[in-house]
Structure 1
């Protein structure tokens, strides 16, 4: 029996869900409307991690587009993605079972993502994950990760003063460090560096391991 402990807060993209195919579809819709060739999956994956504005900026820089159009293309990207955010997205294996185990043990659960909060909530609703989470903090309310502000806000909305953070990337690791929290690294997401190079409390490749890693932090 896993004891009730501190809240567990999760990143979303690359941690709980593989969402790049839908992000790629939305980005390519916007860029093709600008007369640009589509991006491939590996390229879009390399752009992920610091929010939709950065995603679009990276695409524009790659194609040499005028950054004066950035606000317009960000708005177009957000609209395209919100219109169809989950057709190609999948929940990583074992996620639902791990969330159920943690929730049944009494751990409050939260989401802290750089995805715009409206889009994050749509995705969580459509994937059937919303009921697990007592707090959802996405991009648009405070500074983006790796600033610790969104993680701290999520902890506050859970009525706590600490948490365990679970993520997949350099941005997530840096956020946990900035917030002074334990960090559990999911190794099958979108990180760009070797897993051992990221600051971490522990790492895992299979979500069946997560409840026991959480228990070790109790």
Structure 2
């Protein structure tokens, strides 16, 4: 498949697993909430496999794993509140920005507008971005504050394009999961796979316009200003 990057006028980045390796912090927040409820805690590899759908789905997966898929609404609300408190208290004390991301956004600043489109709720996403030193690089943060907005729905990408005054095909989605790329497909945005992220192994090749093995590859593609053939 051949796609022309010259149409791109802005970039939408996913957050967890794309800009930031936040799994250790998400694990900490989840386990802190579960501990307060007297429930089992989980190791990092398992929690990492649950990331991508936002904290409510994360909590739901944890509950299902211990046979509490029918847990009542009150417990889910308490766990979510404790998860948020733990996240806001230490947004990025254990995780880190992926190597090459800071250099990428520094190079793109002033060249192309950047936004973050994430299933993490906006207040939590902004706190993580601020702790990472990345918030000042982006024009806006579009978080999954309501279930219907969350990727793979196109809503967040369409809202980002509209806010930037662009048509959706002018907004490049960069993400690491099937949810990111399916949302891009639904919104008619081009998509680049962050192959260093959590969910890249599960992405169908048909959804990928470009496969990035490191952040600097995106800058190289944009700088080439030519048609790129998918590998």
Task: Give the TM-score taking structure 1 as reference length.
Answer: 0.91
Equivalent-residue separation in structure 1 for 2:57 and 2:227 (angstroms): 33
Verify: 1:173 aligned to 2:181, yes or no: yes
1:212 offset after TM fit, Å? 2.4
Name 1:110's counterpart in structure 2. Answer: 115
Change (3 A) 1:59 1:10: same
SS of the counterpart of 2:141?
Answer: strand
Q: What SS does structure 1 have at the residue aligned with 2:16?
A: coil
Pairing partner for 1:16 from 8, 19, 23 = 19
Contact kept? 1:187, 1:204, Cα under 8 Å: yes
- Say if 1:216 and 1:119 are closer, same or farther in 2 by CA, change over 3 A: farther
Separation in structure 2 between the aligned mates of residue 28 and residue 77 of structure 1, nearest angstrom:
8
1:1-218 equivalence runs, <5 A: 5-65=8-68, 66-68=70-72, 69-104=75-110, 106-140=111-145, 143-162=149-168, 163-191=171-199, 193-194=201-202, 197=205, 199-214=207-222, 215-216=225-226
**After the TM superposition, which parts of structure 1 deviate over 3 Å for at least 4 consecutive aligned residues?**
2-5, 192-198, 214-218
Moved more, 75-84 or 199-208: 75-84
Q: Is the 8 A contact 1:4 1:107 kept in 2?
A: no
**Stretch of structure 1 that moved more, 186-195 or 83-92:** 186-195
Kindly state the Cα deviation for residue 45 of structure 1 after the two structures are TM-superposed.
0.7
The two structures have a TM-score, normalised by structure 2, of 0.87
The alignment's C-alpha RMSD in Å is: 2.1
Call closer, same or farther: CA 1:130–1:216 in 2, change over 3 Å. Answer: farther
How far 1:120 sits from its partner (Å)?
0.7
Partner Cα distance (1:177, 1:67) in 2: 34
Give the 3 Å change call, closer, same or farther, for CA 217–152 of structure 1 in structure 2: farther
Counterpart of 1:112 in 2: which secondary structure?
A: strand
Distance in 2, Cα, partners of 1:216 & 1:8: 17
Determine the C-alpha separation between the residues in 2 that align with 1:164 and 1:138. Answer: 17
2:109 counterpart SS class = helix
How far did residue 35 of structure 1 move?
Answer: 2.1
Q: Return 5+ residue gaps in structure 1 as ranges.
A: none
**Which consecutive unaligned segments of at least 5 residues does structure 2 have?**
none
* Bigger shift: residues 183-192 or 111-120: 183-192
